[in-house]
A and B are shown apart, each in its own frame.
Chain A
Amino acid sequence: MTTQSYAVGEHPDLPPPASEVGVLGWLRKNLFSNWYYSLLTLLGLYILYLYVPPLIKWAFIDAVWGGEDRSACDAEGAGACWTFINIRFTQFMYGFYPDELHWRPNAAGLLLIALTIPLFVKSFKWKWQLGAFILLVYPFIAFVLIHGGYFGFELVETNKWGGLMLTLILSSVGIVASLPIGIVLALGRRSSMPIVKSVCVVYIEFWRGVPLITVLFMSSVMLPLFFPEGTDFDKLARAMIGIIMFQSAYMAEVVRGGLQAIPKGQYEAASSLGLTYWKSMGLIILPQALKLVIPGIVNTFIALFKDTTLVLIIGLFDLLAIIQQANSDPEWLGFDTEGYVFAGLIFWIFCFSMSRYSIALEQKLHTGHKR
């Protein structure tokens, strides 16, 4: 054994002990740092062992993917029956919308995507104009395309609409229509006029205080009573009115949050420039406030997107309702789980990606308004 001597302070650093670096170190630090963490880790592993392999076996290995009827799924030891989803897929997407006309909702959807893409391009200059076009003109184009009855498009009654298409329509109409109402209500709630303020407060607190389901019941049972005899609303329009009234209250609170985050100096600066109320709101306050609340709006959209499933209770066929109906089809009894897993996956993909987007946006927009 040779010994080597170093001058004071010249000794090279020793490598860290093997138990502190690499895989072993990571395991020790993150999974087995003391006895009860080790116990918890083992418990977690046991839970994973209990549920993950059977789940993978059911959903993939033993699953039945093809076929035209349930015979393959009834075989002994068969896992998930994705045939059921496969066969019903168009119905889950479009409801009872006529097959040969599916291009119309598709076109409306693609148009929306095409219109939205430039909004994410940094160098695109006409963002405000395009945004206004999407919010104000596009809904009419989409309505003509999907509903028909104009320009030689064949009429498709709303009771044939359904599936994911209806879920998307309900939630986007709900958000887009409730935005302007919400802005007005939020401004009203911060108004110095006592009566305007109290009207807005009562409206907002009322709708926020009741469950959506009672609102939907109300709009389907009571709304027809409110209008002169003979006025006929279809079910979808009634549900939409209910959703918009409900949603605008939540939207108002989101916008109010944004308005409150704008420093008082901005209001005072606008007034001292001699701008009128509407000009100072429209040119100074709202552009800043709305930018701040985009993540909040996305979050409300997520909530609304999940809440649209409630329309099945008043007899509309959104994605969940149509799956529920397919589940009770006597030919396909016993595949509830597959239906729910499929619906859950679709909702999950939409909601999860939107919530990630909202988080990313929040970080991007965090431009020093918060104190």
Chain B
Amino acid sequence: MSEHDSGLKPSKPAFWNDPKVRALFFQVLLIIGLGYFLMVIVDNTLANMRARGITTGFAFLDEPAGFGILQTLIPYTEADTYGRTFIVGLLNTLLVSGLGILFATIVGFIMGVARLSRNWLIAKLAALYIETFRNVPLLLQIFFWYFAVLGALPGVRQSLDLGFGIQFNNRGLYLPEPIPESGFNIVLWLVLIGFVVSRFVKRWARKRQDETGQPFPVFLTTIGLTFGLPLIVFLLMGAPLHWSYPELKGFNFKGGMTIIPELLSLLLALTIYTGTFIAETVRAGINSVSHGQTEAALALGLTRTQTMRLVIIPQALRVIIPPLTSQYLNLTKNSSLATAVGYPDLVAVFMGTTLNQTGQAVEITAMTMAVYLTISLTISFFMNWYNKRVALIER
């Protein structure tokens, strides 16, 4: 530029036309506007709360709650504090979301692959499932399972016996519970150690293949080290585990594990509903890998399994994972519908009962929303990280 410098300077616009000045002006205006808006709201809220005699602050978290909760993962009694109801609700939310994500993924992957099946009947059945359940509101499905299906089951004394000691009635699903005996911990440790060792084996196998071209059955080794070896040790130790079966005593079942109908209906609905979306995601992902990739892999001499594992799945996953995580996020947020059937999740317990009892609307809403926001941001953070890791490096 300097060689053409003729000493002329570009004409400067008037300062009210200068984009920089304008940007500054608008942003200052925005800050003032937002600040005023927030001030009015805070002011009104404080005045309203004073008028209604609501105290502010988080002191209520230490007061005794005085209400029972249907299902708790940690010990909880009515004498515990409101703070503990928060934890109990949070754990219940995490439980139902975690199980829901697990089952919805399984259902979704099976159905997504089934819809692409070359078997006409299977493809149509999968399409029927997907198109039916994704166009019906989730809440309706929860109600259907809870009131029309589980509510219509026989009572405790006429329980359906599903075999293996499983009992099913309108109070829930009663499963046998595994009770570990002394020494079972060793088996669990072995699983962990086996898994870690197999990761090292994988690294070594890759290195060896890079150097010599000799493949190594990593998958089988992993299975053997993680599950096979601990199983043998488990049997050698004389199976230190027994089952506690549910038995009818008086008016209810004792022993075993109980899955309450609220959890069951919520889980069924979340699984079936989210499963449809995951299935569509999976289908789109597999479709996105062009057939030329398969042909090229086969032409290189890879086996069918290797083609699938090394060529197709990694490319499909790149397309599948981002929408998949947002489905997981949706499932977690949708688990808050629990409150409609009375499953004691975070919203039902904390934003429902606790809020009604204490009237601390602002604090409780803020805490509940903060939990969901944290979950969302964590998952999207993970997604961005993953996206960066697997992104195609183009040109």
Contacts and interface: CB of A to CB of B under 8 A. Distances in A.
Interface of A: 30-31, 33, 37, 40-41, 44-45, 47-48, 192-196, 199, 205-206, 208-214, 217-218, 221-222, 224-229, 302, 306-307, 309-310, 312-313, 320, 324, 327, 336-337, 340, 343-344, 347-348, 351-352, 355
Nearest to A48: B125
Given A37-B118, A337-B148, 6 more contacts: A41-B122, A211-B334, A214-B365, A214-B368, A218-B369, A351-B135
Contacts of A348: 132, 135-136
A193 B20 CA distance: 9
A192 B365 contact: no
Contacts of A355: 135
B114 to A, nearest CB: 9
Nearest to A224: B48
Contact of B44 (A41, A227, A302, A306): A227
Contact of A37 (B119, B132, B137): B119
Contacts, number: 151
15 contacts: A33-B119, A40-B122, A41-B122, A192-B23, A195-B30, A206-B373, A209-B376, A210-B376, A211-B372, A214-B368, A228-B44, A310-B337, A320-B140, A340-B140, A344-B136
Nearest to A308: B137
Given A209-B373, A309-B139, A310-B139, A340 B49 contact: no
B288 interface: no
Contacts of A210: 333, 369, 372-373, 376
Contacts of B355: 217, 221
Q: Specify which of A48, A206, A214, A355 lies most central, judged by the most chain B CB atoms within 10 Å of its CB.
A: A214
A336 B362 contact: no
A190 to B, nearest CB: 14
B119 A193 contact: no
Report the interface size class on chain B: 35 or more
A348 B144 CA distance: 15
A90 B147 CA distance: 23
Contact of A222 (B51, B120, B362): B362
A194 B41 CA distance: 25
B340 interface: yes
Interface in B131-170: 131-132, 134-140, 143-144, 147-148, 151-152
Interface of B: 23, 26-27, 30-31, 34, 41, 44-45, 47-49, 51, 117-122, 125, 131-132, 134-140, 143-144, 147-148, 151-152, 333-334, 336-337, 339-340, 347, 351, 355, 361-362, 365, 368-369, 372-373, 376-377
B230 to A, nearest CB: 32
B27 A225 contact: no
Contacts of B368: 214
Nearest to A335: B148
A221 B41 contact: no
B119 A309 contact: no
B41 A30 contact: no
A30 to B, nearest CB: 4
A211 B336 contact: yes
Contacts of A351: 134-136
B337 A213 contact: yes
Q: Specify which of A30, A40, A217 lies most central, judged by the most chain B CB atoms within 10 Å of its CB.
A: A217
B125 A193 contact: no
A336 B151 contact: yes
